[in-house]
Structure formats: structure tokens, C-alpha cells
Amino acid sequence: MLIILFCIVPFWVKLIEKSTGLSIIETANYESNAAALQLNEKLRKKSFITKIDERPNNNKDLCSITCSYKSISDLSQAERYPVASEITDNNNRRHMIDPPKDGKISLVCCETTAGYLSIAVHHNWAPLGAQRFIEMVRNSYFSTKVALMRCVQNFICQFGIAGDPSVNKHYRNFQDDPNWLPEGPKHRKNEVGVKRFAKGYFAYAGAGKNSRSTQFIVALGDNERLGGGSPWEVPWGEVVGAESYETLAKIYTGYGEKGPTQGLLNREGSSPEVMKKFPHLDYMTCCVVVDESEA
């Protein structure tokens, strides 16, 4: 009987360590409530990511999208036709100036390990930037498990390097769009205190003229410096809906500027080694276009 037990116990130890990514001693040490919550979160994300990895990668609708916004008609007037205002809209947000009006809108639902994001892509805000993002969505780019690699509380979250490094080479830099936000230090805020780059705006990350490619930023808070002259920071869309703002608040920002480097992700993508080194990192795991409107 003792021999059987000695044979079985090591087997279960190895099984637990393999399934959790933790040693059996590390698992046993999670005794306080705070530590238990961290363990639960680690297991939740690992389980979620494993589930994503098992999906087929040949269908633009491969993920079971369940965003609360399912059509353009679900958008409020302020979300479909945003304007500058002294009072907040239904997303508790104000725009500094009127964004470009009319034009095509694509409603995109993105799945992340922090929750769901509904994104209103306004093609006339930045036609080339919007076109590239929609192209990436339709090509299932985000189903490669894209790391939310640089997320700073109340500032921005940067992401966009494919979880499969071989995918990045298919996308080259493209031309800048004209900036519709007022530029320069004098326009960081307007007369009623509204900051230039509103919470929930999406733009590209870049490093010079015509440097936009596949990396993005989303504002986690209103910011007065972004969009003030850097050509890549022209907004092309925005987060819409209470569900999406709840997701923004849940994105892990504990790594801040010390998350995985671009060099590491370009070499390894969202590898098991990256996940082990940054166990709390969130990921964008799928995006689909759920509806479009020309006006």
C-alpha cells in the first residue's frame, strides 16, 4: 500500500505543477486571502489562454464574441456622432473639439483576458489608420494572442506585436493621416478643462513620420499631451459602452513600463516563457467586425 502511495503522489505533484505553472510548494504557500486571489487570477488567465490556443485559426469568427454592443444601432447618439461638450456623455467622457463628422463606422468587438471591448472605428477620423486596423481584424491578427505589453495606470495601454512572431513581417509601415486634434502646448486643454486625448481613444504607437504599423495605444485616462503633434497619434476610433470601460479598468497595469520588451515579443511572441515571466499580463485574443454603417 505504501509503495502504491509513493508512486501516485509524485505523479499528482507533477500534474499539478504542469497544469498551474507553479511548484507544489508555491501552491501550498498561498494561504492568505490576498495570495489566494492572486493564485485564482493566475489560474483563470492560464485556463483562458489555453482555451484560446486550442481554437482553429482559419475563421474570422473563430471566437465566441459576446460584446454587449451587437450592431451600429446599439450606439448612442453621442457615440455615433460625438461632439465637443461641456457636459459628459453616457460614457462619462467629453471631447475637446468636434471629431470629423459622418463617414463610415465599423463596430468591432475584441476579446481580452480582462473582458470585452467594443470599438467604434470612425473611418473619416483617420482613413488609413482605420483601414489597417480593420484589415488586421479581418485577417485574425489578434487571434494570435497579442500581449497588452505596456499598460500604465491612468495613461495608456500599448499593444500590437503578434503572438506568433512570423505574422508581424506581413505588415509594413504606412503613411500618416492628417491630425484632426489641435496641436501644440497651447491646446492641451480647452477653456473648460477638457483634455485633448480623451479616455478610450485609439491611435497608433510610432517613432517618427510614417512609422505606423501594427502597434496601438488606447488611453486609460484623459491625457493633455497625446495627439499634440506626433503624427502617429491621430485617433481613429474609440471605446464605446459601459462594459468596455469596465474592461479598461480591469487591464493589469502593475508592470507599467517594465512589462515585456518589444525585442522579447518580436523574438518569442506570446510564448510560455513570456507568460511565465509575466504571469499577470493581459492579452487581446480575438477581434471581429460585428457591424458597419456608411453614415
Q: Kindly report, residue by residue over 187-237, the tens digit of the pLDDT.
A: 999 888 899 999 999 999 999 999 999 999 999 999 999 998 898 999 999
Q: Determine whether domain 60-293 maps to CATH 2.40.100.10.
A: yes
Q: Classify residue 25 as left (phi > 0), alpha (psi -120 to 50) or beta.
A: alpha
Q: Kindly report, residue by residue over 115-146, the tens digit of the pLDDT.
A: 999 999 999 999 999 999 999 999 999 999 99
Distance CA 205, CA 233 (A): 7
**The residue count for the chain:** 295
The full set of domain ranges for the chain reads: 60-293
Give the C-alpha distances (Å, rounded to integers) separating 237 from 210, 222, 270.
19, 15, 26
Distance CA 292, CA 139 (A): 17
- The structure's pTM equals 0.79
